[in-house]
Every structure is written in structure tokens, then in C-alpha cells.
Structure 1
Amino acid sequence: MNTPTYLIDSSIFVFRAWFALPETITCRDGHPANAAHGFVRFVHTLLQSERPARIAFAFDESRGTSYRHALYPAYKANRPPAPEELKRQFGWCREFVNALGLAHVSSPTFEADDLIGTLAARERQEGRAVVLVTGDKDLSQLVHEDDLWWDPHRSQRLNPQGIEKRLGVRPDQVADQLALAGDKVDNIPGIPGVGMATAARLLRRTDTLEALLEDIPAIAHMPIRGAKRLMGLVDTHRDTVQLARQLTGIHCEADLPAGLNLERRRPDGARLGDLMDQLALPPSRRFDWDRI
């Protein structure tokens, strides 16, 4: 097995820095730069600790335009639009990754999760395991044997067995679990009164959502508290669950840029220097990127 490929769910780390660091951190022009500063530090820590030979950063640009919105217009409608100050910082973060010589991808049609899923499938075809760097439980559905789901901020590294212990289902059942329970974060409907734990109990007895929906009357005979009521709920909300399943599954055949190379390239020192000046990074944050 080759060394693993690191696939970064970039947006979550930009948002974490945006909320964690004060807006008094500004660029040379006085605009907030807290998220960009935090992201630079995150990338430095990641590269220094892991020394990945292959790595890619996935960014979201499909807000309101992804194929999921076409299926369900209310998808993620509960989220307020990103302020201009944050959009500007996302641009700096992408520019920073590019200047470092690291691959990055985005799409107006597919979300970062789909791009990561597509990259993970491609890497596995070439005999490589992947490390999914994220804090999003949705991406745990992509974890195969030898892969890891890793949230560096919480020091959690989960293999398939760790995911099953945490969520109560195997990685390949996570999308089914989310379809049954719904996902408030993404405004995905589920079955009222059915949470992740109950969804896990159902799937442990039927294995797949498809099998569960093919024999709904059997739910009444399961050794689950309130089984008859649960059967009625599943039957009533069957169409909702089937729609939700189209939203919770990660699309692993997204379009990728031609010739995309995940191997690290040498940083562009001049571009990095200009960007560090623009962000007004202090000397303690101006790392020697050639040595990492």
C-alpha cells in the first residue's frame, strides 16, 4: 500500500478560523483576515505533522447551484449567505493553497464532499488509501478499509470500526442513516421522531435502507421500543426518506479538472511573499514553506 493521499474539506477549517479568531486581525488594507490567518496556520500544522506526498483541497462554490438544490430547493436554505468579508478570505485561502503548489478543486455543480468522494475513488483505483481531513460526519461514508476520517481539531482519527462505534452503523450505511434521521445542518428532511440512534437500530436489522423500505410491515415485529408506531412513521414518510437519500449520498463521479495532479509541487516563493504581505502576517506566521 502506498502512503495515503490527504483530501481536505477546506471550508470547515476556514469557517472554524472565522469563528474562533477575532475580526480585529486584518490585512494591510484593513479588511478582516482572521479566517485566512487561521487557515494558514492550519495548513502549516498539517503539512509539518503529516508530510503528505499527495494532497488536495476541496472548496465549495456551489452554494445554491448544486445538483442537490435542483432536487430539493430547500437544501441548506437554513444557512445565511456568507458575508463579503468571508468570501474575500476564501479567495485568499485558495490563492494561498495554489501558491504553495498544492492541488485544489471546486465546482458550481458538485459540492466539496462530492469532489472529495470522486478523488477518493480515483486514488483507491490506483492502490492508495485516503485520509479525509474534516469535521463533517457526512464524509465518514467514504471511509474504506485502510482509510481514515480525521478531525485534527478534535484529535479524532477514525477507521471503519471507529466510525461504526461512533455512529452505530458501518460507513456504507451512513447515508441511509442520515436519510432516515434527516440532517438539520443541511436542512434535509427525515422522519419526525427518528434520530440517528433509532435509524442505526433499524439498519442493523435490515442492513440497507432499500431493504427496510421493501418490507415496512416487518418493522412492527422488530425488538425495538415503539416498533408499531415506528412502522407507521416509516410508511407515512417513505417518499421523504427516498428524497433525502438522494441528498445524503456523496456523488463519487463528479467532473474533475483535466490533468489534475495531487503530488506536491514546489511553492511559488514570490507569490507566497506577496500574499503574506497582503494578509499582514506577523513574522511568527511567515513559515519557511520550502522546508515543510
Structure 2
Amino acid sequence: MTGPLLLLDAASLYFRAFYGVPDSITAPDGTPVNAVRGFTDMVARLVTERRPSRLVACLDLDWRPVFRVRAIPSYKAHRVAEGSPATGGAATELIGGAGPAEAVPDGLSPQVPIILEVLAAAGLATAGAEGYEADDVIGTLCATERHDPVEVVSGDRDLLQVVRDAPNSVRVVYAGRGLAKAEVFGPAELATKYRLPSDRAGDAYAEMAMLRGDPSDGLPGVPGIGEKTAATLVSRFGSWDELLAVAADRADPRMAASVRTKLAAAADYLAVVEPVVRVARDAPVHLDRDDAVPPEPVDADRLGELSEQWGLGGSVDRLITALKAATPV
């Protein structure tokens, strides 16, 4: 047996590391390295516990893509850094972003390049797609993988839409409450939790999200349609197109008049929301190296220099130990 392809939602994890590890953790020169230490420990733990044969840390090369903002201008608008791009732009440029900078804590921004250097020295692949978010990179890598099982690690519920059983399994290790309390979702678990049809749980989850909206992403949703009503609606119809067609047909008895009225009032939003919520499956993904998990760091000297310079000590040691023990059984 080979281990799974492990796809990491890198920004989701290093944000959680930043807030989960005390900012009193600093390098010898006083630079905060709490996110670096926390993220490195997360990767070591995941490699140890999930035993992947392949691993890719997926990056946001554009955290607020133009095609999504054109469709819904409020998309993530509340996260744009004040004065961007004139101020705070470096936070996005660290991972290749070209648009307005995301509001990132001052202590986190300088740690992102260190994280990328640690991954490179360890020999772990990173991937991005110009003009797309990490979610789209993950969506594309899931869509194109046909052999190995895939496990996606993220604290973002949006990625629950990628779960599937065939042609190969895709599971989401949802770490919204941290890795220690992570939940593993496949179609069955997703269907049970949100009362969705199990035969298309991933697609149905995305459709439910379109209807209910998501304030954290600036998506208004349909006023008056909450999560339960949204789940009931998407379970009643076989596709998003069918749901919209029934909403436009007053003679179809499968939709209550009150619900049809709410959907009609939000017609402009419903016409453009689908590509905003659904992850891309054809993004131009570029990997910086082969995604096989190496049995040892590819540049041990550089990893040692980074460990000494930034005081990463035990975190790097745990990562090296994890790599050496990572051969799937």
C-alpha cells in the first residue's frame, strides 16, 4: 500500500499556528517565530499520523481573485488591509499575490517566507496557481488525481465540497478546532452532519453554502434562507441548475411559494454566485518540486542553518524524525 496524497491548506494552517502558539516564542534576534514553529509541528504531526507518500502545501497566489470579486464585489472585502496596496502589500507579495493585500497581523507577515524556506529545505512540495486561491489549487489537484487516496487538511469549511468516494477517495481533515480535535469528512460524514444527499454530498454542500451565504467571506446568501432550509432545498433537487429552474417555474409544486419568492428576490446574486463558491478544478497549478515525501531533508545543511538562525530547534527535529519514519506500510 502507498500512503495518501496529503494536501495542506497552508495559509489556513499557519494562521491557526500563529494564533495557537504564544507570540513569546521568538528567534535569537527577537523575531516572532510562533507561526513557523507551530506550522512545522503541524506538518510533522500530519506526516507521522497520516503517513502520506506524497504531500503538497497549497498556497494563495491570489487570496481575492478578480473573477470572484467581479461577480460579487463584497467577496472578502472586509479583509482588505487598510491603505492597500500602498500599505501592507508585502503580506500578500510574500506568496506571490498581485492584488490588494489581505489584512495580516504584523507578527505573521515576516514568518511566511521562513515557513516556505523550511518546506523547501525539507524537500516538501508547494503549489500555487496565478490568479487563484489555495482552495482552487486543492480543488484542481483533487480533480486531477485518479490513483492515490487524497486527504485535504484545512480549517476552512469551504473545502468540504471536494469530498468523494470515486474514482478515488477524497477526505477532508477539518482542523477548525485544531489538529487534536480534527474531524475527518467523507461523503457519508458530510451527508450526516448537514443532512445532505450522500450520493453528491460535496456538490450539495457547495450549493447549501451558496444559499445560506458566509459572512466570513463577504457572501450575503439569500435573505431568509438559513442552513437548514438550504440543506432541505439542495437535497430535494439533483443539481444546482435544476434548483434554479424549479425556482423560476411557478407551476412546479416542489418548491413553496414563500421560498420561491425569496429566491426570486435574490436572482441577481444567484446568477453569479456559483463560480465564487465552487472551487476551481482546472486552475493552472504549478508545483515547485516532485510531491513525493522524502525520507530525509533534501538540503539538511540549509535546514540546519534555518533552525539555528530562527531558533526552531525541536520543531525542525520533529519534522526530520517524521520524514524518516514516513515510509507507508
When the two structures are superposed, what TM-score results if normalisation uses the length of structure 2?
Answer: 0.80
1:219 deviates by 9.2
2:182 to 155, 158, 166: 155
- Per the alignment, residue 291 of structure 1 pairs with 324
Distance in 2, Cα, partners of 1:200 & 1:58:
29
SS in 2 for 1:85: coil
- 1:204 is aligned to 2:222: no
* 1:65–1:108 contact (8 Å) kept in structure 2: no
Map of 2:157 onto structure 1: 137
Residue 255 of structure 1: CA displacement? Answer: 0.7
Inter-partner Cα distance in structure 2 for 1:7 and 1:252: 14
What residue identity is the alignment partner of 2:214? D
Offset, 1:62: 0.9
What percent of counterpart residues are identical?
A: 30
- Tell me: CA distance 1:221–1:130, structure 2 relative to 1, closer, same or farther (3 Å): same
Aligned position for 1:190: 221
Which letter maps to 2:11? S
Shift, 1:229, TM fit: 2.0
Given that residues 66 and 108 in structure 1 are in contact (C-alpha distance below 8 angstroms), is that contact kept between their aligned partners in structure 2? no
3-state SS of 2:108 partner: helix
Across the aligned residues of Structure 1 and Structure 2, the Cα RMSD in angstroms comes to 2.2
8 Å CA contact 1:220–1:228 kept in 2: the answer is: no
Question: Residue 150 of structure 1: SS of its match in structure 2?
Answer: strand
Give the alignment partner of residue 243 of structure 1, picking from 272, 278, 289: 272
**Structure 2: tracts of 5 or more residues without a match:** 82-102
* Residues in 2 aligned to 1:219 and 1:58: alpha-carbon distance in whole angstroms: 46
User: 2:112 maps to what in 1?
Assistant: 90
In the TM superposition, what are the counterparts of 1:57-136 in structure 2 within 5 Å?
57-79=57-79, 80=81, 81-124=103-146, 127-136=147-156
**2:144 aligned partner, one-letter code:** R
2:150 and 2:120 mapped to 1: Cα distance?
21
Q: CA deviation at 1:259?
A: 7.9
Q: Does 1:276 align with 2:302?
A: no
Offset at residue 37 of structure 1 (A): 1.0
For residues 28 and 232 of structure 2, what CA distance do their matches in structure 1 show? 54
Aligned to 1:231: 260
5+ long unaligned stretches in structure 1? none
Does the Cα contact within 8 Å between 1:188 and 1:247 map onto a contact in 2?
no
- Alpha carbons of structure 1 residues 234 and 264: separation in structure 2 relative to 1, 3 Å: same
Matched-pair contact (CA < 8 Å) for 1:118–1:253: yes
Deviation at 1:14, TM superposition (A): 0.6
